[in-house]
Amino acid sequence: MIGDGGLRREEFPVFSRRTYMNSCSQGALAVSVRNAYDDYLQGLAEFGSLWESWVGVQERVRSLLARTFHADDADVALTSSASAAVNAIASCFDFSSGPRTIITTSLEFPTIGQIWHAQERRGAEVIHVAAEPDHRLPVERVDAAIDSDTAIVSITHVCYRNGAMVDVSAIIEAAHAKGVPVLVDAYQTAGALPIDFQALGADFLVGGVLKYMLGSPGVGFALVNPQRTSEWIPVTTGWFAARDVFAMDIYSFDPAKDARRFESGTPVVPSLFAAEAALNFLLEVGIASAWEVSGALHDQLRAGIMDLGGRVVTPLDQHGPMIAVAATDDHALVDALAEDKVVVSCRDGNVRISPHFYNTTGDVETVVRSLHRHRHLLA
């Protein structure tokens, strides 16, 4: 156990004013991440265009993401969002001549559902495998849906609405046994718990840096398995996806041979500066240490909510880095907690409470006290 949590807490100004427990929406802002924006603006003010410098920042972010997920630099595509990454992947399919069924689940974020359903205009069929009422997703139910007409299986690692974790390793194994690729949406786990992309074996893993990775909007990513996806060529593209970015060729399509082929146009440069600072900070703390802290805080939080008579809808033995609590009016409960200077969020009738390494046992006690004051809003 790492004390009462609160690793590097003094570097997050928000805690002087709020009990911040909303990392599932946006990570707390570290001083070093804020300063990175100043570095970007200072460069503009002093030198104007700094393309070579900006490309260097992009490549450092690529390397930091590779370290985070135990991948190679060449396996990381940098995008403006997870949606951009998934759209590029989806554009690889020809549903008119190959397998046309997309298997996904009832636990997905709208990005996944909407992008895959958009492919219906290109001939795809989307099947949602339903989770159980307790939000667990039976692996055998996903396996049974996969057949010779399945083009891809697309699954979340953790459900954004309720914190339920999916057994992605078992689903990847089942899909690969039938020759079907798998995309994992890891937005709600990236930076919060250790993920080894090579060991996981997924064909694609997508996410972004603004939640537990401590960055800001504007940087998403796709990790691409080179052994299984070398023939996948997106038609959603841009000049940063070219084999030679600065060849400036307008007469041919010459995509990069590595994961960069899934990139697009000019990156969101200010957000890359923030992402570099954020990922350096996260790796200094250590994701294993972060997960040890938040795991203990989850246990404390769950026990406190149950003592109040509240109902935690997140499965006890299959949960990610958030606890979801059922509410009679989730928006009203979020607002009531905000009056107590407790920052959380809500989805689907549940209040989401998401500690990270910078939170403490004292933060959990503050949240539980606030929930007690507003317990009439607990379902």
The string of DSSP codes covering 294-309 is HHHHHHHHHHHHHHTT
- Sign of the Cα torsion 116, 117, 122, 127 reads positive
Q: Which domains does the chain have, with CATH numbers?
A: 9-30+286-377 (3.90.1150.10), 33-283 (3.40.640.10)
CA distances 368 to 169, 332, 362, Å, are: 34, 16, 10
* Distance in angstroms (rounded) separating the CA atoms of residues 308 and 53: 54
Which residue shows structure tokens 């003094």?
10
Q: Which among 285, 365, 299, 358 is positioned nearest to 27, based on CA atoms?
A: 358
Is there a contact between 72 and 66 (Cβ–Cβ < 8 Å)? yes
Closest among 114, 119, 211 to 158, alpha carbons compared:
211
The pLDDT value recorded for residue 1 is 47
Alpha-carbon gap, residue 285 to 278, rounded angstroms: 11
Looking only at the bridges linking them, the beta strands covering 350-353 and 345-347 are antiparallel
- Cα Rg of the chain (Å, integer): 21
Residue 21 and residue 137: Cα distance in Å, rounded?
26
Look up residue 218 and give its DSSP letter.
Answer: T
- pTM for the model stands at 0.96
Residue 328, token pair as written in the block: 């009679």
**How far from 314 is each of 111, 116, 186, CA to CA, in Å?**
22, 26, 17
Predicted local distance difference test score (pLDDT) of residue 2: 67
Helix 361-373 to helix 287-307 angle, to the nearest 10 degrees?
A: 30
Alpha helices per DSSP H over the chain: 31-47, 51-68, 82-90, 110-118, 139-145, 168-177, 197-200, 226-229, 269-285, 287-307, 330-339, 361-373
One digit per residue, the tens of pLDDT, for the chain of length 379 reads: 467 889 999 999 999 999 999 999 999 999 999 999 999 999 999 998 888 888 899 999 999 999 999 999 999 999 999 999 999 999 999 999 989 999 999 999 999 999 999 999 999 999 999 999 999 999 999 999 999 999 999 999 999 999 999 999 999 999 999 999 999 999 999 999 999 999 999 999 999 999 999 999 999 999 999 999 999 999 999 999 999 988 989 999 999 999 999 999 999 999 999 999 999 999 999 999 999 999 999 999 999 999 999 999 999 988 899 999 999 999 999 999 999 999 999 999 999 999 999 999 999 999 999 999 999 999 9
Per-residue pLDDT, 98: 85
